Amino acid sequence: MTEAEWLDCTRPEPMLQFLRGKVSKRKLRLFACGCCRRIWRLLTHERSRRAVEAAERFADGRASKAELASFWVELDDLPFHSEQEVPSYAATYAARGSAWSAASSVPREAASEEAYSAVHSKYWDWRREEVLSAAEQGQAALLRCLFGNPFHPPPPLPDAVLAWNDGTVGRIARSIYDEQAFDRMPILADALLDAGCGNEELIAHCRGAGPHARGCWVVDLLLGKE
C-alpha cells in the first residue's frame, strides 16, 4: 500500500493488512471497539454495551480475560424473536466479538472480523448496498483517526507545549480520552495553538469532522500512549 492509497482507501481490510506487525495490539483492540461504537444505537441490550466497555478497559489493561469471558456467555443467551430484531442481533454479535477480539492473541485478524460484523449490522439494518459502502468508508476513516499517516509518523511534541499553562493540553486530552468527549477536539486544537504547537497536521485532525474514537493518534500522542 502506498501513502496515497492509505489516505484514499475506503475499505478497512486492506488497511488492516498493511498494518500487520506495524502497530500495537492496544490500537487494534480499540479499533474493534470503535467499530461497535459506530453502531451504538443498534446495541439495544445493556449487556452488549457493557461488553464493548469491558473490551476498551482490557485494551488499557484495566479488565481481565475472565471479565470478558463472562460477556461471551451472557450475550449468547440474549433472545431475539422477530426479523425486526436482526440488526440488533447483528450488533450484539459484534459487541460479543469485541470482547473476544480484545482478549485475542491475534488482534489484527480479530479486528478485521469485528469490522465485518459491525458493517453488516448496518447493512441488515437498512438493506441497501450504499449503506454497506458508507459503513466501510466510516471504518476506513476510523483507522486513519487511530493510526494517522503511518508513512509520516508525527514527531514528539516539544516539552514546552506539554508544560504550557500547567499542563492544560494534557488535561484536555485526558478528559477527552476518559470521557470519550470527542466534541472537545476543537478545544484541544485551540489549546495546542495557544501552547505554541506548529504541527499543522495535528491541528487539522483536531478540527476535522472525524470520526474520532478512543485511540485517536493525536490524543494518544499527547498522553504518551502507543
Same domain, 106 and 172: no
> Does 206 map to a domain?
yes
Same domain, 66 and 142: yes
Residue 50 lies in domain: 3-147
Q: Is the pLDDT of residue 157 over 80?
A: yes
pTM of the model: 0.84
Confidence of residue 94 (pLDDT cuts 50, 70, 90): low
- Which is higher by pLDDT, 36 or 157? 157
Q: Is the pLDDT of residue 124 over 60?
A: no
> Does 154 map to a domain?
no
Same domain, 126 and 171: no
> Does 202 map to a domain?
yes
Where among 147, 176, 207 does a domain terminate?
147
Q: Work out the burial of residue 78: count CB atoms within 10 Å of its CB; fewer than 13 is exposed, 13-18 middle, 19 or more buried.
A: middle
- Which is higher by pLDDT, 30 or 107? 30
Grid cell listed for 183: 466534541
Where among 147, 167, 186 does a domain terminate?
147
Same domain, 180 and 204: yes
Residue 12's identity, in one-letter code, is P
Query: 86 phi and psi, to 5 degrees?
Result: -60, -45
Grid cell listed for 128: 441497501
Grid cell listed for 109: 485478524
- Going by C-alpha positions, the residue among 67, 56, 51, 48 that lies closest to residue 31 is 56
Contacts of 26 (CB under 8 A, 6+ apart): 59, 60, 215, 225, 226
Number of domains into which the chain is organized: 2
Q: Residue 126 has what pLDDT?
A: 45
Q: Is the pLDDT of residue 68 over 50?
A: yes
CA 155 to chain centre: 22
Q: Is the pLDDT of residue 130 over 60?
A: no
Tracing cell 468508508 back to the chain, one arrives at: 137
Q: Residue 221 has what pLDDT?
A: 96
Where among 147, 171, 201 does a domain terminate?
147
- The mean pLDDT value of the chain amounts to 82
Residues 200, 215: Cα–Cα separation, whole Å: 20
Contacts of 118 (CB under 8 A, 6+ apart): 35, 36, 38, 39, 91, 94, 135, 139
Residues 152, 118: Cα–Cα separation, whole Å: 29
Q: What is the DSSP string of 18-53?
A: HHTTTS-HHHHHHHHHHHHHTTGGG--SHHHHHHHH
Same domain, 62 and 136: yes
Q: Is the pLDDT of residue 114 over 60?
A: no
- Which is higher by pLDDT, 128 or 29? 29
